[in-house]
Amino acid sequence: MAILPPVIGILHQEVVLDIRTLACFVAVAEDLHFRRAAERMNLTQPALSQRIRALEAEVGADLFERDRRGVALTPAGAAFLSPAREAVRQAGIAKAEAMRAVRGEVGRLRLGFTPIAFYGVLPEAVQAFRARYMQVEVDLIEMSSPLLETALASGDIDLGVLHPPLTRDLIIHPLPDEPFVLALPATHRLAEQPVIRVADLAGEPLLLAPRAIGPSIYDRVIALFSGEGISPLIVQEVTPMTTLVGLVAAGTGLGFVTAGIARAARPGVAYRPVLPEPPSLPIAAAWRQPALSASGEHFLEIVRGLVVEGAASGGGRS
- pLDDT tens for 95-148 read 888 888 788 889 999 999 998 888 889 999 999 999 999 999 999 999 989 999
Domain count, the chain: 3
Q: Are strands 107-113 and 70-73 parallel, antiparallel or unpaired?
A: unpaired
190 and 242: one domain? yes
pLDDT score for 7: 41
In a domain? residue 11: no
Q: Is the pTM of this model over 0.75?
A: no
How many C-beta neighbours within 10 Å does residue 263 have?
A: 12
Residue count (the chain): 318
Cα 182 to Cα 274: distance, rounded to the nearest angstrom: 7
Q: Report H helices in 41-111.
A: 45-59, 75-102
Of 102, 136, 162, the one marking the end of a domain is 102
Least confident range of 86-100, 141-155, 190-204, 256-270: 86-100
Percentage of the residues of the chain whose pLDDT score is greater than 90 = 78
Band (214; pLDDT cuts 50, 70, 90):
confident
pLDDT score for 315: 57
In a domain? residue 248: yes
In a domain? residue 8: no
Q: What is the DSSP letter of 211?
A: T
Of 57, 81, 102, the one marking the end of a domain is 102
- Give the distance from CA 69 to its chain's centroid: 60
In a domain? residue 167: yes
Of 67, 102, 137, the one marking the end of a domain is 102
Cα 318 to Cα 175: distance, rounded to the nearest angstrom: 7
How many C-beta neighbours within 10 Å does residue 124 have?
A: 15
Domain hosting residue 156, numbered range: 107-176+282-313
